[in-house]
Each structure stands twice: as structure tokens, then as C-alpha cells.
Amino acid sequence: MHAGHGAGLAAKTVGPPVQKGSTVLLPDAASLYDDLGQLTYGRQGLSAQFALQAALAELENARAVTLYPSGLSALTGALIAVLKTGDEVLVTDVIYKPTRRFCDHVLKRFGVTVRYFDPRQPPDELVGGASDATRLILMESPGSLSFELQDLPRVAELARARNILTVADNTWGAGYLMRPLDLGVDISVQALTKYVGGHSDVFMGSVAVNDPKLVRAMDDGVTNLGWAVNGEDAYQMLRGLRTLPTRLARHGQSALAVAAWLKQRPEVVEVFHPALAGARGHELWARDFAGASGLFAFSLRPATDLAVNAFLDALELFGLGFSWGGFESLAISCDPQLKVRKFRPQYGGPLMRLNIGLEDPADLIADLEHGFAAYAAAT
């Protein structure tokens, strides 16, 4: 039972060792209840988790990064860590649907008031409309369905003057194309499942902060709720992080090529890609982002659900699925998800979202042509 513990040092490899363990053996009796400055239980993380946290902190220019089992748990964990009964939170109306569900069904149940705001609202009006109970403003820039951008630096500046925290879902920017903390935002959240993982095969989320009080709040939140990520998943995320710049460059170039092609199609009313010249929010994108990722949307000319489904069903290279950020291209229709929004601008027709993967953009364009042929026949 006790054999093999002192088997010698592991060889040095390019990746960290993956340790598996719940129990952490401590050096002496005095260390058993010394929780400050030492690791006492495996749920706190081991070698691979610590290596990933350090790399993500460098990526986001953060003092500390906390890991969560999914992107959704990262967002909900950040909210739980800083909100209390009687607080109010202002949430962008384009927020990720599962986050909205948490706000509507969990935060409200615990006495937190949730108010949704139009992402097109000027920052002065947004922060000026906050109440004395407003504790936090939750943003997603760009929104992951309709791609509205918000003026993060201005909102953060105005909110800080009123002692209101700001949170940004930065999954589209992946911590590499945009750094919310550098723009003055207090808390940067990512679904690492998307671009950092890059292969649609592992769940994880992260929260990056700089303020020492927020560092403690996030650590306490994870400890008190018992969240943890395992070493093998952390290793996979770290492996994905190593190729993130290379993959994002390809995603971004291919997506812009497809978006520019779609802009010329007679079936398309508008392309919603902030990095596309002339698109909504392009000025904010050019100021705040160092590049573009592969996720964007476009609206079709008005047609029946039958025609929209015919378009999607005719696609062969594009899979039909709800995630994004992986190597494979995906397509979905967005209109069913827009029904819960309080502010619904006109998009001109059915809204479609594409995740442009790592395939040849010429092949993806050819696949979309098949979709348009089916759409025309059904229309």
C-alpha cells in the first residue's frame, strides 16, 4: 500500500505534470490547520491547474485568475462572489442566454434585483440610470448573437466613480484580442471552452481580476461552493492556450473573408461583424480590439421558417450546433433565442450565426452557396 511514493523526480517535459489527488500530504502536524500560504487539499488545484492560472493571468494582464468547471459557472461564480440580498445588477440585454436564465431564476430568488439595458444605450445614460442599490454592471462585448459592442472603458470609468463594479464576458476576445482589465473593467470572464480549448472537447471557465479584494472574493467563492477543475482538463486548456494566437489569426482572417462575401449576396440584408468596415460597432472594435475572432452573424431577407431550415439543412461543412470557438465551422438560426430580449432592434429578417473554423474559407463559401440555393428554392 505504501510502495512507490518516492519513485524519484519526473522528467522535465514541455507541459506541466498532471497530478491526481484529493489528499495533500503535509510535512508535519503544525501544518494541518495552517491554511495560509500552503496547499492543504487537492480541490484547490495542483500543478497543471496552477500552470494554467499563471498563463491566463499573463494573457489577461491580471493579478490572479480563478478556474471554474464551465464558462457559465465562471460568470455565475463571479456574480455570487460579489452580490448580496438587496443589491441590484444591470445586465446587457444581449447577454448569453444561460447567464440570463441564472439572473432571472436564481439571483431574483435570492433577493437581487436584475434590470436589463439596451447595449446601444450611451454609457452616461446607462450609469446615470443606476440606482443607489446598483452593485454591478454586466456586459458582453460583442454580444454573442447580434454582436453589439459597448464602450467598456467609458462604462468602467463612470461606474468606478459611483463605486459600481463592472464585469465583461470576454469570450469573443479570448483574453488575447481584447483585455478588459486594461480598459478599466473590474472582472473579466471567459468561457475557456470556446477559443482557449479550441477543440470543442473540454469545459472550463475563468475569472481574471486585479483588485486584491476581488482576488479574495473569487477565491472564497470557489472554496465555499466547492467548485474545482481536474488536472487533465487544465492540461488540455493549457495546451490549447499555446496555439491560441495562431488559431485566432486563421479564424479571424477566414471569418472576414466569408463576411465580405456574404455582404455582396442579394439574399443578405446585413452582416453583423464588428471588424468588417462599415459594420455596427466598427469604431469601438478598432479602438479596443487587436484583431477579430471567427464568430459573427448575418440577417437574411424575410422568409419562412421552412426556408431558414432549408438553408441550414443544405450545409455540409458547417455543423449545426450551439457552441463556437472550435476548429470546426458551425451555423445556427438565432431568432428563437431573441424572443426573451427586452430591446429588440430590427435586423431585417431571420438572424443567422456562423462560427468560422479552420477549414479553407473557399470551401466554406461553396457550402454556403448550397445553403442559399436551398433557401431560394424553399422561398
Average pLDDT over residues 226-252: 96
- Give the model's pLDDT for residue 75: 97
- φ/ψ of 296, rounded to 5, equals -160, 175
Cα Rg, the chain, nearest whole Å: 22
Q: Confidence band (pLDDT; 50, 70, 90) for 369?
A: very high
Choosing from 194, 239, 247, 353, which is the catalytic residue?
A: 194
The lowest-confidence range among 30-34, 80-84, 115-119, 329-333 is 30-34
Residue 43: active-site member = yes
Q: Cα separation of 200 and 197, whole Å?
A: 7
- Give the model's pLDDT for residue 31: 85
- Give the model's pLDDT for residue 344: 81
CA torsion through residues 318, 320, 325, 328, sign: negative
Q: For 170, how many CA atoms within 13 A lie in the half-sphere containing its CB?
A: 31
- Give the model's pLDDT for residue 302: 93
Query: Residue 281, class by beta-carbon neighbours within 10 Å (0-12 exposed, 13-18 middle, 19+ buried)?
Result: buried
Residue 352 has pLDDT above 90, yes or no: yes
Rounded-to-10 torsion of CA 365, 366, 369, 370:
-140
Choosing from 87, 169, 186, 233, which is the catalytic residue?
A: 169
C-alpha cell of residue 24: 495533500
Note whether 171 and 144 are within 8 A (CB): yes
Average pLDDT over residues 72-81: 97
Query: Residue 22, class by beta-carbon neighbours within 10 Å (0-12 exposed, 13-18 middle, 19+ buried)?
Result: exposed
Residue 2 has pLDDT above 70, yes or no: no
Neighbour-count burial for 55-71, b at 16+ CB within 10 Å, e otherwise: bbbebbebebbbbbbbb
Q: Confidence band (pLDDT; 50, 70, 90) for 3?
A: low
The H or E element spanning position 156 is helix 152-161
Q: Confidence band (pLDDT; 50, 70, 90) for 101?
A: very high
Residue 169: active-site member = yes
Residue 377 has pLDDT above 70, yes or no: yes
- Give the model's pLDDT for residue 43: 84
Note whether 215 and 209 are within 8 A (CB): yes
Q: Cα separation of 230 and 373, whole Å?
A: 46
- pLDDT tens, 6-49? 656 677 888 888 888 888 888 888 888 887 767 888 788 888 99
Cβ neighbours, 10 Å, residue 285: 23
Choosing from 96, 195, 347, 375, which is the catalytic residue?
A: 96
Q: What percent of the chain has pLDDT over 70?
A: 97
Residue 1 has pLDDT above 70, yes or no: no
This prediction has a pTM of 0.93
Contacts 24+ apart (CB under 8 A), 331-334: 331/355, 333/308, 333/309, 334/145, 334/146, 334/297
- pLDDT tens, 247-302? 999 999 999 999 999 999 999 999 999 999 999 999 999 999 999 999 999 999 99
- φ/ψ of 232, rounded to 5, equals -65, -40
Contacts 24+ apart (CB under 8 A), 228-232: 228/42, 228/43, 228/44, 228/45, 228/69, 229/45, 229/49, 229/67, 229/68, 229/69, 229/204, 230/20, 231/18, 231/19, 231/20, 231/46, 231/47, 231/48, 231/49, 232/18, 232/48
Q: Cα separation of 292 and 177, whole Å?
A: 7
Distances from the Cα of 292 to the Cαs of 27, 177, 252, 270, 368, in angstroms?
49, 7, 5, 18, 21
Note whether 222 and 43 are within 8 A (CB): no
Query: Residue 4, class by beta-carbon neighbours within 10 Å (0-12 exposed, 13-18 middle, 19+ buried)?
Result: exposed
Average pLDDT over residues 324-342: 94
Average pLDDT over residues 195-199: 96
Query: Residue 190, class by beta-carbon neighbours within 10 Å (0-12 exposed, 13-18 middle, 19+ buried)?
Result: buried
- Give the model's pLDDT for residue 180: 98
CA torsion through residues 366, 334, 101, 93, sign: positive
Residue 58 has pLDDT above 80, yes or no: yes
C-alpha cell of residue 176: 488575447
End-to-end CA distance of the chain: 71
C-alpha cell of residue 142: 460583442
Residue 115: active-site member = no
- Give the model's pLDDT for residue 379: 85
Residue 116: active-site member = no
Residue 93 has pLDDT above 80, yes or no: yes
Residue 86 has pLDDT above 80, yes or no: yes
DSSP string, 13-34: -SS------SB---SSGGGTT-
Note whether 375 and 307 are within 8 A (CB): yes
- Give the model's pLDDT for residue 374: 97
- Give the model's pLDDT for residue 6: 60
- Give the model's pLDDT for residue 23: 83
